[in-house]
Structure 1
Amino acid sequence: MSSVDTKRAAPQRHRIAVLLFGFAALLLCIVLSLALGARSVAPGTVVEALFGGGQGRDAMVITGMRLPRTLVGLAVGAALGLAGAVVQGITRNPLASPTTLGINAGAGFAVVTAIYALHLTRPVEYVWFAFAGAAAAALFSLALGRRAGDLDPIRLVLGGTVLHLVLVSWTSSVLLFSERTLDEARFWLAGSIAERNLNVLTPMLPTLVIGAVVGFAIAPALNTLALGDDSAQALGMPVARIRLAGMVAVVLLAGSAVAVAGPIAFIGLAAPHMVRLVLGNDNRLLIPGCLIAGPLLLLSADIVGRLVARPSEVEVGIVTAFLGAPLLAILARRKEVR
């Protein structure tokens, strides 16, 4: 093997090792998610319960409550991580996230309005309202971001941020005038995967899969888009179509995640940055890496929320917001981000 081939093989081995390490960390996080909570369970009991050999209360808690919760966390974390990577790619803004496009606020406003007007009481009843609100907010941000027929990434982010502020204000107004709606919606608005079962997740699986496929498909084009619109167009890339496809992926991924678990912040922002630190800026590696980083961050935050206030727990959306604020400040001060 020549020296050039050796130099090329070394980074490849490093990336594979990083992905394997991340996957092992995610497996450990899954085991901890099944074992820890208000009542801790031994790892051996977890294995017995998963393979049908366990009986008793611990086995019922694992298979009936913690396993569905963990599966929901895996799906939601992966969706938010992928959505964050795609939206940062199409806007060329490392501080962009699904929240920036007003997706979380759109879903929240739709759910609160549905609870207020239709007297809904269960997540499975308003999950489609959340998805519709997220999609409508993203489409409105898309309309605000268009200039002379093309999608302007700066206008897109600014329009989404303004929309987010407006929708949050409207949502707060509805909650202020209806105590019943506040009591019903505040748990979902906090962002949580507790008490979420597969009946809530299953309807969203097709949209999650389609969004992930679109995100993987445009990953090479996002590398070209990072060179700038003029350079990308000179290389023959249809910039407007790629951005539109990216927006579709973000709507499907983030909309589904928010519909299932509520508006969980900072996962979509933090996961891509965590992957970039170890794998670089290549979207062909960044997007697959977010499939690991997103669930890892979400399940870790969920475990922290279970342990800090036992026997009660803190919703995962509150934990991610508490930990994500310092992260945002650090990222904003980095030279590479500026």
Structure 2
Amino acid sequence: MRYVLQKLGFYVAALWAALTLNFLIPRWMPGDPVDIMISKLATRGPVTPSTRHAIELLLGTDSQQPLWQQYIAYLGQISSGNLGTSVVYFPTPVAKVISQTLPWTIGLIGIATIISFLVGIGLGTLAGWKRGSWLDNVIPVTTMLQSVPYFWLALILLFAFGSVWQVFPLNGGYDVYTTSIGLSWPFISSVLYYGALPALTIVISSIGGWMLGMRNMMVSTLSEDYILTAEAKGLKPGRIMRTYAARNAVLPSIAGFAISLGFVVAGSIVTEAVFSYPGIGSALLQAVNSNDYALMQGIFLVITLSVLGANLLVDLLYTIIDPRTRARA
């Protein structure tokens, strides 16, 4: 219990620090979302000072209030679930923008991350168990693919399979001309078809890191005394590999997977930009380009909560996976 309370206290402090930075960083950036909104309204007629003040209140950037009062108001809005109004998608609330784009990102980046982790850990386990095999010799090739710039790999795959051979579509999240959004097989199949190439890009670029990390940990674990003891007791090789070697070797990878899973919510801005995918990464890019404070803060908040939540979950799971953690706690 003491271990759990210590972890909860640490993550609460980390959340407060993240919220503070989330409030300050957009306000330190050049530009003003109020001016952007006024420039849009100016095309329809003159904008009075009262209108400007109303827009400032709407966007949460009231220049007539000191920064600390804006900070208190910001914390109050966050606690009530009010994330403000987006400039880019005005007058749509930020919460609605996030709820519309987040499922696309979780579906694409989340599934691709889980697939690359499971496949990479499985292949890394076999490569470490059978050192010198053909699978072990393939790892340098996979790490080379990981070193290729992310956007460059996406462009190569898009050119090859979207333009030359035309196996996959060039952009979008689904076929907007023949399907409508809903829980129907035509829509689901269209989403899977349009998301296959972006997901393949993520898997290819990330699987090498999981394989290399797991392979190295397997090699290190196989030299431990308890592995030699298990072999001396006559246990089956498969059981030694899974129960004794892989279970201990996978612990560092689980911590890395937690961080990767937390950043799933952030999406892959490069991938979504290259493939014009309607995820939260594209919304974040538009928010930064338009100095949309409210939308940036809302997306950063969701990213912060997901990363902290994923790490907290893994810290608690460590007490189940690794009994030594319970002993230290």
Fold shared per TM-score above 0.5: no
Report the TM-score, using the length of structure 1 for normalisation. 0.32
